[in-house]
Homo-oligomer: A and B are copies of this chain.
Amino acid sequence: MHLQSLEGIPLIQPGDDLGSIILISLQDTQLTLENGDILVVAQKIVSKAENRLVNLSQVTPTEKACQLAARTGKDARLVELILQESREILRVDHGLIIVEHQLGFVCANAGIDHSNVRGSWGEAQDWYLLLPENPDRSAQKLRDYFFQACGVKIGVLIIDSHGRAWRNGVVGTTIGLAGLPGVVDLRGKLDIYGYELRSTMVAAADELASAASLLMGQADERTPVVHVRGFPYALREAGLQELIRDKNRDLFR
């Protein structure tokens, strides 16, 4: 399996056509897409292209947001945004609100991001970036673009960096996908002695999200797209929901 970050992706602006920008970058990187390839795309550039920027000066916090702001030390207007993006609050600590996002997954601060964001007006430090409204749809749109532009069937994965229970550090994690499996079900396959494997559902998309995240850098490196060749599982239609554990079957909610 070979992973390569694309060169020369410019700073993305609201309204940019990500598909054609990535296509140019593929050419600059001297890569030709083939059937079965996967493009892994950082959430941040998808959100920017889809103009998910919000300026805090446009946000009026509710009383609930003000109370949570006092508990967490966060700006009440930012907390208001977090609440609007979330279904449920799971845990609260200083500087941290762990939520179930409207999109279904659990993450910190509703995935709302400050770094590397600058809007077209207002103070730079007041701009925040929400997650894409429907990352599966964003992934499918890119997949359709490359089928039309290059005649290839690829998978597209949109990822963010998520913290985890029990372990330090963030890892690249799927927030949207199209054309590759989220989870691969190996149950019923036999082990090498002929015993049935008991419980092997592999979160293949998340494994790939983590792999690609290694090459994206986090700070001044501009490598928000990674090309993958040699993903070992068969591509198929899929969506984020297969990666989300049902709330009633989750022992850590």
Contact = CB atoms under 8 A, between A and B. Distances in A.
A3 interface: yes
B207 A214 contact: yes
Contact of A208 (B117, B208, B214): B214
B214 A167 contact: no
A171 interface: yes
A210 interface: yes
A47 to B, nearest CB: 15
A63 interface: no
A195 B128 CA distance: 13
B220 A191 contact: yes
B242 A91 contact: no
Contact of A164 (B164, B215, B233): B164
Interface residues of A, number: 71
Contacts of A1: 2-4, 211, 214-215
A190 B218 contact: no
Interface of A: 1-4, 11, 91, 93, 96, 98, 105-106, 114-118, 124-125, 161, 164-173, 182-184, 186, 189-193, 195, 197-198, 200-204, 206-211, 213-215, 217-220, 222, 231-233, 242-245, 250-253
A8 to B, nearest CB: 15
A105 B232 contact: no
Contacts of A170: 200-203
B210 A169 contact: no
